[in-house]
Amino acid sequence: MVINTKDNLVDIKSLTLEELTEEIKAMGEPAFRAKQLYEWMHKKLARDYDEMTNIPKSLKEKCKEHFSFTVVNKVMVQESKIDGTQKFLFGLYDGNVIESVLMKYKFGNSVCISSQVGCRMGCRFCASTLDGLERGLLPSEMLDQIYAITRLSGERVSHVVVMGSGEPMDNYDNVLTFVRLLSDDKGLNLSQRNITISTCGIVPNMKRLADEHLQINLAISLHASNNEKRKELMPIANTYSLSEVLDACRYYFDKTGRQLTFEYSLVGGVNDTDEDALELSQLLSGMNAIVNLIPVNPIKERSYIETERSRVIAFKNKLEKNHINATIRREMGRDIDGACGQLRRRHLHE
Ligand code: SAH
């Protein structure tokens, strides 16, 4: 069971209905109260016990003593004038801040959440990792990014991507609990097929995830087509080689049947030549996969530059000529510190 360190109490919003039912029964209360509490938190998105009109006052008092009730609090919202993307800065119980993003697409509303405060993976072009890892988020804190955005925007969220700050496979247990709660039919009931987890390639946990019998999508941050180049951009490549990462991907596909996405941030003059595209095609040949090309979003702490638009298109064409499906990520929120960790970082340093 997940504990909130603020008060060292069990975190009520991180409990499954089964766990909550056990807790409530142990408190001498009838089991149906657990279901009511669970629906208030995960279906009606209540932010405190006061909103729960059919829960007796005495039980609310008991719950306040027994549990921690974790929410995220809006610190700031920025809205892109270009595409309506909204970036949220949320405050946590311990004073930390995290970012989440709401993107509106034709197919629905997608929320990108953070899984950790900061990150320890050290990818060279990423702003989230510049200050290292603070801590992993609780399942309730991941859920509440979605719940808070739903409440604040009045929009239904149909898709969730764990692609914000942090490495989800470095906060494995809490991320798994989060996925189970988010897709629970007694909660928001979000289809697992609409949930995507993005990883830099922590091989053992990718395999563990494959064995969980989930229907979620896996995205893998590749960013290079050989080990030498990948090591220059991503320190994790010193621990797991590309062939180990791709083996874990094949394992994930075999176990789940879910198509894989490979993320490839194009960095000007670093990984964006025709030779890189050819090597990437050979690497991924025969895999049921799609490559998502992301023109790097330059951060001021690093000197990486964006690949020119014509080069991005040439890179995509080269992949397709070699029978690799590729898309170019629509860049959203460029005017609002869109890149992972930029807004939080600016907030911390101001
Ligand atoms: N830790 C996870 C989630 C990170 S963010 C992972 O590594 O996949 C999601 C994607 O954005 C990753 O592919 C990450 O490498 C990429 N990314 C981070 N900063 C970026 C930037 N400034 N420009 C382009 N892509 C970036």
In short, whether 113's Cβ falls inside 6 Å of ligand 1 is: no
Domain edge (last residue) among 68, 102, 117: 68
Residues catalogued as catalytic: 99, 340
Ligand 1 pocket, 221 CB below 6 A?
yes
CA distance 229 to 283: 14
Distance of CA 48 to the CA centre of its chain: 25
197 pocket-lining for ligand 1 (C-beta < 6 Å)? no
**Mutate-to-test residue for ligand 1 from 265, 297, 299, 336, highest number of ligand atoms within 8 A of CB:** 265
Question: Which of 206, 152, 216 lies closest to 182, judged by CA?
Answer: 216
Contacts of 300 (CB under 8 A, 6+ apart): none
CA distance 226 to 135: 31
174: β partners: none
Measured by CA distance, the residue closest to atom 19 of ligand 1 is 126
Q: Which residues pair with 159 in a beta bridge?
A: 110
Q: Please enumerate in sequence order all residues whose Cβ is within 8 A of that of 193, keeping only pairs 6 or more positions apart, or say none.
A: 215, 216, 217, 258
Question: Atom 3 of ligand 1 has which residue's CA nearest to it?
Answer: 163
pLDDT attached to residue 204: 98
Residues 79 and 63 in one domain: no
Q: Are residues 25 and 136 in the same domain?
A: no
196 plus 269 within the same structural domain: yes
What is the residue whose two structure tokens read 């087509």? 225
Question: For residues 295 and 306, is the Cβ–Cβ distance under 8 A?
Answer: yes
Ligand 1 pocket check for 236: Cβ under 6 Å: no
The proportion of the chain whose per-residue pLDDT surpasses 70, expressed as a percent, equals: 96
Statement to judge: residues 171 and 82 lie in one domain: yes
Residues of the domain holding 18: 3-68
- Average pLDDT for consecutive 10-residue bins of the chain (350 residues)? 92 98 97 98 97 97 97 95 92 96 93 97 94 97 98 96 97 98 97 98 98 97 98 98 98 95 96 98 94 92 92 97 93 65 71
Q: Are residues 105 and 58 in the same domain?
A: no
- Which of 68, 93, 111 terminates a domain? The answer is 68
The verdict on the CB of residue 263 being under 6 Å from ligand 1 is: yes
Stated as kind and residue range, the H or E segment containing 174 is helix 172-182
> Which of 46, 68, 90 marks a domain boundary?
68
CA distances from 177 to 19, 172, 302, 337 (A): 12, 9, 35, 30
Same domain assignment for residues 110 and 12: no
pTM of the model: 0.95
- pLDDT at residue 300, rounded to an integer: 87
pLDDT tens digits, one per residue of 83-108: 889 999 999 999 999 999 999 988 99
Backbone CA torsion sign across 253, 136, 45, 83: negative
- pLDDT tens figures, 200-228: 999 999 999 999 999 999 999 999 999 99
Q: State residue 346's pLDDT score.
A: 73
If one counts the domains in the chain, the total is 2
Q: What is the pLDDT of residues 295-320, one digit of tens each?
A: 998 888 888 999 999 999 999 999 99
Q: Are 85 and 336 in contact, with CB atoms under 8 Å apart?
A: yes
Q: Is 167 in the pocket of ligand 1 (CB under 6 A)?
A: yes
User: Dihedral, CA atoms, 316, 319, 320, 325, nearest 10 degrees?
Assistant: -90
Could you tell me if 15 and 156 lie in one domain? no
Q: How far is the CA of 41 from the centre of ligand 1 (A)?
A: 31
> What is d(CA 130, CA 109) in angstroms, rounded to the nearest whole number?
29
* Mutate which of 87, 123, 161, 344 for ligand 1 pocket (most atoms within 8 A of beta carbon): 123
- Ligand 1 nearest-atom number relative to CA 162: 3
The backbone torsions φ and ψ at residue 149, rounded to the nearest 5 degrees and listed phi first, read: -65, -40
CA–chain centroid gap for 20, Å, is 25
Same structural domain, 270 and 210: yes
Q: Whose CA is nearest to atom 22 of ligand 1?
A: 297
- What is residue 91's predicted lDDT score, i.e. its pLDDT? 98
Here the CATH number for the domain that contains residue 198 is: 3.20.20.70
CATH number at residue 35: 1.10.150.530
Side-chain half-sphere CA neighbours of 327 within 13 A: 9
